[in-house]
């Protein structure tokens, strides 16, 4: 991680040490907002699920190996072409509940034409959507082309370096395309992102009959974090107590549109080199480095290069899109790493020592930018 003009972090043994240093004023040169790209096609919105899949044959339920939500999935054929269907409702999907998505963010993004305005290197695969009902019980159906053969294969093997570098390049192009984008759709709130797995936020999910596995692991991870990484624990607890402070600091840096979930289970590579990007479950206005640090946090075990090299490559890709990062990169990256630690410190706490130590150092450094 790059460092510049930072106060030396205090250690836990320093007399009167503050875990989160006082804020300092820095001049950030904000890039001029880019004109919002226009959608090239009118998004298909069907009146119902039945209308969306009219004429489909060979419908069969499936359970993707990487699926962890309460959504249901089907494979089907329409006009002789293989398709994939996802049907989701906040009443049945714990991920929608813990993230605060009770208004079907993906549908709003689709209806607004944001998917269609993405750069050509991103293939979202979506054909159309149908939203039935309203409120938490509303049912959202998403019809996609079947891209299973092009997705990153499940497993623990490192992915090819060329694929990883292209993913970061295409992520940078997406962020550059929407730089300066502002959320007028009511999508995922920046401050709420830090609380996705916060102990208080997942408490209700721990009381259900069948506790989702990620929720159970998160509960265990938060319990062991204080003993495994006490300084990291104090920092993330401070973020959970006052998420608006970190959000306000990030808003002093350039923001963009983020799909929100660049885990390898949602990512693939088409034969022509385009990046498949599925499941835009957490879309909204956030820092470019938010998507980037999410990618590093969830895919750490399969990355073919160090986090530092990946960060440098993404930054170079962003610069190639005529985005000047000189005045804000270090600050945004540090703050994003702190925020990401607030989301996934529990997952690092049940993992290896080296990965946990990396994120603890990153969070400590990031807190110096508040």
Tell me the pairing of strands 57-62 and 45-46: unpaired
Residue 136: pLDDT band by 50, 70, 90 thresholds? confident
pLDDT exceeds cutoff 90 at 344: yes
N residues, the chain:
370
Indicate the class that CATH gives domain 45-150: alpha beta
CA angle, corner 90, sides to 215 and 247, nearest 5?
Answer: 70
- The pLDDT of residue 296 is 98
pLDDT exceeds cutoff 90 at 281: yes
Give the CATH number of domain 161-367. 3.90.1200
Q: Over the stretch 87-133, which tens digit does the pLDDT of each residue have?
A: 999 988 999 999 999 899 999 999 999 999 999 999 999 999 999 99
Tell me the pairing of strands 267-269 and 81-88: unpaired
Residues 63-75, mean pLDDT to the nearest whole number: 76
Query: Contact 272/147 with Cβ under 8 angstroms?
Result: no
User: What's this model's pTM, rounded to 2 decimal places?
Assistant: 0.89
- The pLDDT of residue 36 is 52
Q: Over the stretch 158-177, which tens digit does the pLDDT of each residue have?
A: 999 999 999 999 999 999 99
Query: Contact 145/84 with Cβ under 8 angstroms?
Result: yes
The dihedral built from the CA positions of residue 146, 149, 154 and 156, taken in this order, carries a sign that is: negative
Residue ranges per domain, the chain? 45-150, 161-367
- The pLDDT of residue 16 is 36
Strand blocks (E) in the chain: 45-46, 57-62, 72-78, 81-88, 122-123, 126-132, 139-145, 256-258, 267-269, 275-277, 284-286
What tokens does 263 get?
A: 């885990």
């Amino acid at each position: 991680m790059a460092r510049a003009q930072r106060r030396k972090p205090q250690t836990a043994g320093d007399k009167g040490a503050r875990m989160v240093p006082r804020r300092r004023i820095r001049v950030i040169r904000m890039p001029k907002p880019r004109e919002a790209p226009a959608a090239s096609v009118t998004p298909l919105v069907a009146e119902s699920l039945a209308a969306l899949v009219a004429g489909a044959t060979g419908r069969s339920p499936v359970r993707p190996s990487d699926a962890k939500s309460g959504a249901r999935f089907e494979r089907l054929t329409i006009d002789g072409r293989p398709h994939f269907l996802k049907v989701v409702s906040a009443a049945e999907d714990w991920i929608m509940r813990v993230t605060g998505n009770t208004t079907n963010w993906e549908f709003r993004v689709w209806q607004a034409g944001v998917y269609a305005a993405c750069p050509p290197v991103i293939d979202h695969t979506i054909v159309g959507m149908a939203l039935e009902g309203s409120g938490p019980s509303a049912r959202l159906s998403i019809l996609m082309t079947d891209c299973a053969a092009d997705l990153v294969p499940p497993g623990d093997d490192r992915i090819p370096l060329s694929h990883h570098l292209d993913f970061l390049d295409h992520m940078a192009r997406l962020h550059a395309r929407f730089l300066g984008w502002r959320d007028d759709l009511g999508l995922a709130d920046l401050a709420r992102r830090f609380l996705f797995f916060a102990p208080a936020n997942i408490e209700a999910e721990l009381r259900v009959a069948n506790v989702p596995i990620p929720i159970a692991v998160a509960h265990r991870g938060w319990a062991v974090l204080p003993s495994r990484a006490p300084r990291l624990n104090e920092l993330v607890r401070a973020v959970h107590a006052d998420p608006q402070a970190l959000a306000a600091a990030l808003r002093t840096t350039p923001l963009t549109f983020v799909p929100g979930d660049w885990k390898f289970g949602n990512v693939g590579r088409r034969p022509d080199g385009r990046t498949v990007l599925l499941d835009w479950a957490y879309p909204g206005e956030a820092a470019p480095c938010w998507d980037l640090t999410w990618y590093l946090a969830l895919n750490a075990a399969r990355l073919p290069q160090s986090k530092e090299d990946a960060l440098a490559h993404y930054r170079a890709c962003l610069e190639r899109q005529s985005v000047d990062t000189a005045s804000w990169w270090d600050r945004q990256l540090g703050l994003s790493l702190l925020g990401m630690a607030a989301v996934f410190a529990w997952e690092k706490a049940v993992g290896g020592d080296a990965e946990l130590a990396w994120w603890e150092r990153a969070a400590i450094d990031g807190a110096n930018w508040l």
